[in-house]
Homo-oligomer: A and B are copies of this chain.
Amino acid sequence: MTQPPPRLRIRVVFGDDAMLGPGKADLLERIRETGSIAAAGRSMSMSYKRAWMLVETMNAAFQEPLVASSRGGAKGGGAYLTETGQAVLAQYRALESAMSEAGSAQISALQALLRNTPSGK
């Protein structure tokens, strides 16, 4: 029985407070798909508040905001990724991909040493 392949969680830590990890990347992706911060949050069972705070943090960390949003209007409002936002998301995905490939040998080596009963469920 081959257990589920190990997954990589990569976080880039800039300076002291700003960082980018899987959570924010996924949120960006879902905002692009849904066109809404609230819908993006719901789709990953995250409270709107939390989603909004993550967006605010990201917008503050980069030179230009990653997410632009508008209130009111026909459908109440909405949000979309800016050019910078799309670029950041693309770079992060590329980073994940490149790193995953580069580390596959070590990952396999580690997995070979693992106990093959990860859970007694």
Contacts and interface: CB of A to CB of B under 8 A. Distances in A.
B87 A98 contact: no
Interface size class of A (residues with CB under 8 A): 35 or more
B18 A118 contact: yes
Contacts of A95: 103, 106-107, 110
Interface stretch (A3-11, A32-40, A47-55, A69-77): A3-11
A106 B92 contact: yes
Interface string A93-121: 01100110111011101110111101100
A6 B13 contact: yes
A34 to B, nearest CB: 23
Interface of A: 3-4, 6-18, 20, 60-64, 84, 87-88, 91-92, 94-95, 98-99, 101-103, 105-107, 109-111, 113-116, 118-119
